[in-house]
Amino acid sequence: MSLPDSHPRDGGLAARLAETRRFSETLCEPLSAEDMGLQACPEVSPPRWHLAHTTWFFETFILKPGLSGYQPFDERFEYLFNSYYNGVGAQYPRPQRHLLSRPGIDTVRRWRVQVDEAMQDLLAGEDDPDLLALVALGIEHEQQHQELLLTDIKHSFSYNPLWPVYRPRDDDGAWAAEFRWLNYPGGLVEIGATDGFYFDNETPRHRQWLEPFALANRPSTCAEYLAFIDDGGYRRPELWLSDGWDWVRASGATAPLYWFLEDGAPEYYTLAGRRPIQLHEPVAHLNYYEADAFARWCGKRLPTEAEWEHAAADRPVVGGFVGNGRFHPSVAAAGDEADAPLQLFGDVWEWTGSAYLPYPGFAPAAGAVGEYNGKFMSNQMVLRGGSCVSHRDHLRASYRNFFYPHLRWQFSGVRLAQSMEAPRGPSATTLA
């Protein structure tokens, strides 16, 4: 099943907004009223909350200050659906969002209709570039929450022993591309956003020195990660960072999230239900500690975010995205370019070895909207590239995602890297 996840950026802001808002509703079509309130842990949110919060964003930051005579749907919602914007006011406690049975989904949808109609009225006569930029931010923000809606409902469904099917899919059993090392000579490069839409944390563009390095041509697979498990990967403290080993012991983890290895053929829970693990797919749902330990077991490391961006800078945004309707990582085709990386975009977010910190000269935007990214630049690690539930037109080489190192409910995987002793031209070698 194909979904309309991508819409041309030259189609007009009002059209992009309308399509984005419709897609949120499309993603909720397979869900029951009971599903809409599920929240399995504090890090995830109920689908109904995502629909409400994205509506809150447009009403709070755009309609109330920007549309003369606009009357909020319900003033109380500003408290209920504020996520973390202290500049706006207090927030309802995040771990308790599942307790908000009211407003019900019908009320939230009426609110969405009011906000959508008001936004279209506003855009029909608006040419203020600052306000239009804020609308564009709201669109990208809703796309982020569409991705979260899918990862969150998967996590909540995973606690149900009936293994709910969000949407069925077929597996093709394809083989992964042959593993190859791609060598990069390093040197003085530039990273950071250049043009088009980008978030503030992607700026300013700046110079970065890279030592020679090599990058795997594809993400690591389930089969490769199973070999790590079979070799005692979760029982060997020498492979783990200190905090990572503490996490292993405290969590009792023995495999990636959603994996079942106890009986017979290995299985995992997916949004198509509990299924046999497809060995040649990219391994997903690893946290940073697991990705780092796997890389150490391989005798390699994680790439820095600068290395990753340098390798991706001239690559097309192709891969498995939310629009293919799989909601699960795909196997990369071998492709025609033996010396080019595969699946840099989509399928699985790729952990880097870089802490989420500001670029040199970074300054957040003024006001409450400036809390969007800058306030989280502490104790988190950077991921790059997007996943199988990301929008293709939401991603670019400079995009910086970030999560705490212990979290793994996202579709997060690993691409190996290694340092090189001497500069080499771009080339490919096969892993022995």
Q: What is the pLDDT of residues 266-278, one digit of tens each?
A: 999 999 999 999 9
Distance CA 368, CA 89 (A): 10
Task: Give start and end residues of each alpha helix (H) in 59-162.
Answer: 64-66, 77-80, 105-124, 129-157
Distance CA 45, CA 39 (A): 5
Contacts of 193 by beta carbon, 8 Å cutoff, 6+ apart = 199, 202, 203, 205, 396, 398
Q: Give tens-digit pLDDT for 17-46.
A: 999 999 999 999 999 999 999 999 999 999
CATH 2.120.10.80 assigned to 180-430? no
Q: Residue 217 corresponds to which tokens in the numbers above?
A: 């041509």
pLDDT category at 174 given cuts 50, 70, 90 is confident
Please give the backbone phi and psi of residue 275, each rounded to the nearest 5 degrees, phi first: -135, 160
Q: Give tens-digit pLDDT for 101-114.
A: 999 999 999 999 99
What's the pLDDT at 298? 98
> CB atoms < 10 A from the CB of 294, how many?
26
Chain-centre distance for alpha carbon 427: 30
Distance CA 128, CA 118 (A): 16
- Residue of 222, 203, 216 lying closest to 260 (CA atoms): 222
Distance CA 362, CA 360 (A): 6
In the chain, what percentage of residues exceed pLDDT 70?
Answer: 94
What's the pLDDT at 176? 82
Give CA separation, 65 vs 62, 69, 126, 189, 308, in Å: 6, 10, 13, 41, 40
Indicate whether 2 pLDDT > 90. no
Please give the backbone phi and psi of residue 244, each rounded to the nearest 5 degrees, phi first: -65, -40
Class of residue 425 by CB neighbours under 10 A (exposed 0-12, middle 13-18, buried 19+):
exposed
Indicate whether 427 pLDDT > 90. no
State the average pLDDT over residues 342-359: 97
State the average pLDDT over residues 208-225: 97
What's the pLDDT at 7? 47
Q: Give tens-digit pLDDT for 52-76.
A: 999 999 999 999 999 999 999 999 9
pLDDT category at 125 given cuts 50, 70, 90 is confident
What's the pLDDT at 423? 44
Distance CA 338, CA 373 (A): 37
Indicate whether 8 pLDDT > 50. no
DSSP 167: S
Q: What is the mean pLDDT of the chain?
A: 92
Reduced to 3 states (helix: H, G, I; strand: E, B; else coil), residue 157 is helix
Q: Give tens-digit pLDDT for 287-320.
A: 999 999 999 999 999 999 999 999 999 999 999 9
